[in-house]
Amino acid sequence: MMRLTKRDKAIINDLNRFRVMDRDSVAEIHFKNLKNPILAANNVLLRLVREGQIQRSKAFTPFVYLGPDVNMKKNSTKIGHFLAILDVYKEILQHGRLDTFLVEPKYTVGGQTKGNVEPDIFCIFRRTPFFIEVQKSIYSEKQMSDKLNRYVDLFQSGVIAGESWQPAEKKVFPHVLILSEQRYALDADYPFKVIQGPSFTQFLISLKPAVASNRTQAHNRSIKIKVN
């Protein structure tokens, strides 16, 4: 068995972090500086599979790869969800500094009476924390309201105030960003910012004041949120 290279270890770490990655994403993230990233990724992934370092699913084309610590069926319906989270990661990287990116972190709130809060993503982008929900399936208004109410429970619990990433001078609660083609009617007054958009790129575009003859109206329509 060959000794693992620094890049081998980085690929394995990412496969464990994202649970699953498609070949093209591995090539884009880990081989983008090479002349033929796809060929290089194929060769390395095949070697790692043969050595038993990673898992492979042939249920998809191109093949997808799973981390050695990932316990998931090779044809699991969750694979598409994790690939969508990976796509969001790649999209965010195009727009600026990304300090933290966690996939489905779990936060325990109030024991069994409240349960766990599990966002699809927690990230710190341009020094601003976000909880991101990647909604490929359509939720009912009640389902989305219930999901956001769990974030309210998390807010009120104070758990997030104790996180290691919190700035010393002022505790903050992450913005909740819902990425979905479906726009939900969210009438409740939440103690944190809730934003909706079809993609992370469209969310960033929405932060820029619209070009209009009436500058005041354009300013009022823009989302008042600070991303450094």
CA atoms in the 13 A half-sphere facing the CB of 175: 20
Residues 123 and 130: beta-carbon distance below 8 Å? yes
The secondary structure of 120-160 as a DSSP string is SEEEEETTEEEEEEE--SPPPHHHHHHHHHHHHHHHHHTTG
Residues 49 and 55: beta-carbon distance below 8 Å? yes
Task: Give the contacts of 124 (CB within 8 A, at least 6 positions apart).
Answer: 98, 99, 100, 130, 165
* Predicted local distance difference test score (pLDDT) of residue 87: 97
* Predicted local distance difference test score (pLDDT) of residue 109: 82
- In one-letter notation, the amino acid at residue 129 is P
Q: How does residue 114 score in pLDDT terms, banded at 50, 70 and 90?
A: low
pTM for the full model?
0.87
Q: What is the dihedral of CA 197, 201, 204, 209, to 10 degrees?
A: -90
* Predicted local distance difference test score (pLDDT) of residue 123: 97
- Give the pair of three-digit tokens for residue 203: 């969310």
Map out the domains of the chain with their CATH numbers: 6-76 (1.10.10), 87-221 (3.40.1350)
d(CA 173, CA 161): 7
Q: What is the pLDDT of residues 7-22, one digit of tens each?
A: 999 999 999 999 999 9
End-to-end alpha carbon distance in the chain: 46
- Give the pair of three-digit tokens for residue 35: 């002349």
* Predicted local distance difference test score (pLDDT) of residue 185: 87
d(CA 94, CA 223): 21
> Which residue blocks in 19-96 are alpha helix, DSSP H?
23-30, 37-50, 78-93
Query: Based on C-alpha coordinates, what's the Rg of the chain?
Result: 20
> DSSP assignment, residue 2?
P
Q: What is the pLDDT of residues 82-95, one digit of tens each?
A: 999 999 999 999 99
